[in-house]
Structure 1
Amino acid sequence: MKQKALDRTDQSYPIIVIQEAGLDGFWVHRVLQAQGHESHIVDAASIAVSRRRRRIKTDRLDGETLIRALLAFERGEPRVCSMLRVPSPDDEDRRRITRERMVLMQERIQHSNRIKGLLFSQGVTDYDPLRRGRRERFEAVRTGDGRDLPQHMKRQFDRDQGIGKSGNTRLRSTLLEMAWLWLRHQPGSALSRWFNERVAQNGGRFKKVMITALARKLIVALWKYVSAGVVIEGAIVRP
């Protein structure tokens, strides 16, 4: 683009880029700055929008709004918008971990409230699905009138707690990626040997099925390592 402008006008113009903060992170901003371009990331909520246009949202209108905000910002107009401070890559990673943890905690609360709501409909008010020993205590739970819980409700609560496609998609992807990384960096571990043996028995097929099974086993093994210090057999652990 700069070369085209130079060829047509014999003048070199700077390139100034503005973008809204979003899920893509800040890597585009870093690439643009590394190439010598001026880049800004704006908080979309800080841009004043006409009340009439609030009901209409298209890419063209959003682009025009960003251009007007950038021009006003470059002119030095106060309070026209709020530009974000770009964190370092390490800070961005730490923020992402914190955000993912908050999302998981919110989903955990939602599932807990849903279970409590289903039990409340049967007259059960003293069961906490987040306490230890909840599985054992669940077998003794009775409805408000002394009956066993309906079978369909028991099946709903007592289903497989593995990595299902109906669960958190981002968490599922992270766990599967972790399993692939484990195979790459811990090839001599017992879990990696188990995976390779099972895949070899099937002639190299069903890798996707087996990687899910490996992820389940890896979660349990890592939990034992974190909670009780049980090192995974054959794993290389840094001192």
Structure 2
Amino acid sequence: MSFNNTIRIAIELSVSSWLVAVRTPGGSEKARLHRIEGGESAALLALITSVRTRESAKSGHSDIGVACCFEAGRDGFWLHRLLTAHGVDAYVLEPTSILVNRRARRAKTDRLDAEGMLRVLAAWLAGDRQVCSMVRVPTPEEEDAKRPHRERERLVQEKQRIENTIEALLFTQGIRGRPSLRSWERDVEALQTADGRPLPPLLRAEIDRLRRRLVLALEQIREVEAERTARQAATFDDTIVQKISALQRIRGIGENFSAVLVREVLYRPFDNRRQLASYVGIAPMPYQSGSMVRDRHIGRAGNPRARTTLIQLAWLWLRYQPGSALAAWFRERVGTLQGRTRRIAIVAMARKLLIALWRYVETGLLPDGVEIKAQADTMA
């Protein structure tokens, strides 16, 4: 598709309405704006068809192309797939990668945003790959495969919130700790406030309702985990599932950590280790000015879920893989230091661990000194 023979379209998405900015090849520099109701994909396709037909008739060419862009956000990727299926070259912009005016106070409207995206799209189509970052759109299957561990994460957070609420309510009465779910009725019956009174009836009713929500959350967590295990067993020949199984062979990496790392990160190809670390957001940001050359703090522009999981795994790695080369590197680097130095070092170790695990699932090369689980533990 020729850049000079392409209709460029930018869509500013919102819940109530979509603002569509159109710039035609050879037309004026001022974009034509169209506002349609939010989510009306049929109206958007009709508008694109109308603009393409009009430009084909005006130029006498039937090969008029259409390139469309919008920012990644709440709408997900369904619009990208719809436009692609209708012959439109669709691009999803990473919003934080777009350069903006650095003034402390700047105008911000849907029109300005849409026109700004048009300029970015034009530069990208002209060959400037540094003007912004484009999101790699996952396939529907890849996107759907992320649901189990993301749902489990939300359920675990809900479980923790309920437990903390129960403890906080009991703490207001001078009671520390919470009753066990195994013996809830007996434990609640025996509870007394710190000043010797029985538990107030309305408070007891509220805590009992929280208990029922807690039991439901625990049941749903077990249900999600069972479904995930059954699905992996049914698709064992799948390449992604084999990567998950390979990670689970390593001592200290469980079913959830392996699923998050593979489904969020290692399912897609990377050209080099810095690209991999940047995707997760644990690559240091370079700083060079004159004679000063150094690395600053990590970017944090990547996948926050994968970054959190990886740092948690790095702490567990020190416990379950003390004889590995990575654990030895950490001990040599940190020694007995505590606090901020230790937290900075664990991020550096997490980056090294990610690269080592990436090489392992891609080539089968185990990191130095790593212990493998026994066959019985792996099957469990």
- State the TM-score, normalizing by the size of structure 1: 0.58
Displacement, 1:16? 0.5
- The aligned counterpart of 2:122 is 71
State the percentage of identical aligned residues. Answer: 39
2:166–2:210 contact (8 Å) kept in structure 1: no
Q: Are residues 1:19 and 2:70 paired?
A: yes
3-state DSSP of counterpart to 2:58: helix
Deviates more, 1:79-88 or 1:19-28: 19-28
3-state DSSP of counterpart to 1:36: coil
2:166–2:178 contact (8 Å) kept in structure 1: no
| Distance of 2:190 and 2:90 partners within structure 1 | 61
1:135 to 168, 184, 190: 184
Relative to structure 1, the CA distance from residue 104 to residue 160 in structure 2 (aligned partners, 3 Å threshold; closer, same or farther) is closer
3-state DSSP of counterpart to 1:39: strand
Paired residue total: 167
| Distance of 1:34 and 1:19 partners within structure 2 | 16
- The aligned counterpart of 1:87 is 138
Displacement, 1:78? 4.1
Q: Are residues 1:146 and 2:189 paired?
A: no
2:167–2:177 contact (8 Å) kept in structure 1: no
| Distance of 1:58 and 1:102 partners within structure 2 | 36
Letter in 1 for 2:93: V
- The aligned counterpart of 2:59 is 9
Q: Are residues 1:102 and 2:153 paired?
A: yes
Relative to structure 1, the CA distance from residue 53 to residue 94 in structure 2 (aligned partners, 3 Å threshold; closer, same or farther) is farther
For 1:112-164, what per-residue CA distance to the aligned partner results, in whole angstroms no more than 9, with x for missing partners? 22222222121122216xx532633333322223322222211222238889x
| Distance of 2:147 and 2:135 partners within structure 1 | 16
Letter in 1 for 2:173: Q
Displacement, 1:96? 3.2
Unaligned runs of 5+ in 2: 1-50, 227-380
Q: Are residues 1:40 and 2:88 paired?
A: no
For 1:27-57, what per-residue CA distance to the aligned partner results, in whole angstroms no more than 9, with x for missing partners? 2212222222211112222222334487764
3-state DSSP of counterpart to 1:158: helix
Letter in 1 for 2:55: A
**Larger strand percent:** 2
| Distance of 2:91 and 2:178 partners within structure 1 | 51
3-state DSSP of counterpart to 1:17: strand
- State the TM-score, normalizing by the size of structure 2: 0.38
| Distance of 2:146 and 2:89 partners within structure 1 | 25
Relative to structure 1, the CA distance from residue 96 to residue 157 in structure 2 (aligned partners, 3 Å threshold; closer, same or farther) is same
